[in-house]
Copies of this chain bind each other. A is one copy, B any other.
Amino acid sequence: MIDDLERARACADAMYANDKASRALGIEIEIPEPGSAIATMTVRDDMTNGFDMCHGGLIFTLADTAFAFACNAYDDVTVAGSGTVEFIRPAFRGDTLRAIALEEHRGRKSGIYAVEVLNQDDAFVALFRGRAVARGQRLLEE
């Protein structure tokens, strides 16, 4: 028998093993508690856009990744239904970004998660909110 945090971390490990996109972006994941996740990414040269800033889409991707790992803590496959992002300040090559996802609400079939994206100086880069939709399928194998 495993406790809630062990289960959350087992779900994260199972997802991460198969998450080629997050790994290709160098994203790393920590699960401090069930319903929460921290995703970290260093802005590489090939993540910059035409204005020499980190592509906003990849900032969203980091936040969305933290969100996905936070909402998949319960061994019930859960996907993003929608997301909103406010961009606050740009990020640049070499910056280390940290996306911290917290569960704001969890219902039977859907949940709301807030994600703050901070840079290495703890300044806000973006604020994200996402709605998660549960699919009713187990994530972990027996």
Contact = CB atoms under 8 A, between A and B. Distances in A.
Given A50-B19, A57-B65, A60-B57, A84 B87 contact: no
Contact of A51 (B61, B79, B90, B104): B79
Contact of A58 (B17, B21, B45, B79): B21
Taken together, the copies of this chain in the complex come to 4
A21 B127 contact: no
A82 B84 contact: yes
Given A21-B46, A50-B18, A127-B105, A56 B80 contact: yes
A77 interface: yes
User: For the side of the interface on A, what is the size category?
Assistant: 35 or more
Contacts of A129: 84, 86, 127, 129
Contacts of A72: 50
A68 B16 CA distance: 30
Interface of A: 14-22, 24, 45-58, 60-65, 68, 72, 77, 79-88, 90, 104-105, 107, 110, 112, 114, 124, 127, 129, 131
Lowest 9 A-B CB distances belong to which pairs? Answer: A57-B61, A15-B50, A21-B55, A19-B50, A57-B64, A24-B46, A84-B84, A18-B50, A56-B80
